[in-house]
A and B are shown apart, each in its own frame.
Chain A
Amino acid sequence: MYEGPVQDVIDELGRLPGVGPKGAQRIAFFLLAADSTDVGRLIAALQRVKDDVAFCKTCGNVAEGEQCRICRDPRRGDDVLCVVEEPKDIVAIERTNEFRGRYHVLGGAISPIEGIGPDQLRVRELMVRLQDATVTELILATNPNLEGEATATYLARLVKPMGLNVTRLASGLPVGGDLDYADEVTLGRAFEGRRRVDS
Chain B
Amino acid sequence: MYVRQLSVTDWRNYHQAQLTLDPGAVVLIGANGQGKTNLVEAIGYVATLGSHRVAGDAPLVRAGADRAVVRTAVVRAGRELQIELEVTPGKANRARVNRAPATRVRDVLGILRTVLFAPEDLALVKGDPGERRRFLDELLVLRHPRYAGVRADYDRVLKQRNALLKTAGSARRAGAAGDLRTLDVWDGHLAEAGAALLAGRLELLAALRPYVVAAYDVLAGGGQTELTYDASVSELDPEADRATIGEALRRELEMVRAQEVERGITLVGPHRDELQLRIGALPARGYASHGESWSLALALKLASYDLLSSDGDEPVLLLDDVFAELDITRRARLAERATAAEQAIITAAVEADVPSSVQGQRYEVAAGEVRQL
Select from chain A the residue with minimum beta-carbon distance to B103: A181
Contact with B along A158-199 (1 / 0, CB 8 A): 000000000000000000000000001100100000000000
- Whether A146 sits at the interface, judged by CB under 8 Å, is yes
- Whether A111 sits at the interface, judged by CB under 8 Å, is yes
Given known pairs A110-B182, A110-B185, A117-B181, the reply for A150 and B146 (CB within 8 Å) is no
Contact, CB under 8 Å: B179 / A111: no
Point out the residues of chain B lying under 8 angstroms from A137, CB to CB: none
Contact with A along B165-187 (1 / 0, CB 8 A): 00100000000000101101110
Contact, CB under 8 Å: A113 / B149: no
* Chain A nearest Cβ from B32, distance in angstroms: 42
- Whether A136 sits at the interface, judged by CB under 8 Å, is no
Cβ 8 A contact of B146, one of A119, A154, A184 = A184
Contact, CB under 8 Å: A115 / B146: no
Point out the residues of chain B lying under 8 angstroms from A115, CB to CB: 167
Given known pairs A117-B179, A117-B181, A188-B146, the reply for A112 and B160 (CB within 8 Å) is yes
A153 to B186, CA, bound (A): 9
Question: Is the contact region of chain B dominated by helix, strand, or loop, or is it mixed?
Answer: helix
Given known pairs A185-B146, A188-B146, the reply for A150 and B185 (CB within 8 Å) is yes
Size range of the chain B interface in the assembly? 20 to 34
Contact, CB under 8 Å: A154 / B160: no
- Whether B255 sits at the interface, judged by CB under 8 Å, is no
Point out the residues of chain A lying under 8 angstroms from B188, CB to CB: 153
Within 123-168 of B, Cβ neighbours of A (below 8 Å) are at 145-146, 149, 153, 156-157, 159-161, 163-164, 167
Contact, CB under 8 Å: A153 / B185: yes
Cβ 8 A contact of B185, one of A157, A184, A185, A188 = A157
Select from chain A the residue with minimum beta-carbon distance to B156: A146
Given known pairs A146-B189, A150-B186, the reply for A184 and B157 (CB within 8 Å) is no
A110 to B189, CA, bound (A): 13
Point out the residues of chain A lying under 8 angstroms from B146, CB to CB: 184-185, 188
Q: Which of B153, B161, B163, B185 has the most CB of A within 10 A?
A: B185
Contact, CB under 8 Å: B157 / A146: yes
Contact with B along A38-69 (1 / 0, CB 8 A): 00000000000000000000000000000000
8 residue pairs, one from A and one from B, having the closest CB atoms: A112-B164, A112-B163, A184-B146, A113-B163, A154-B185, A185-B149, A153-B185, A150-B185
Chosen A-B contacts, 8 in total, with CB atoms closer than 8 Å, are A112-B160, A112-B167, A115-B167, A118-B181, A149-B189, A150-B189, A154-B181, A184-B146
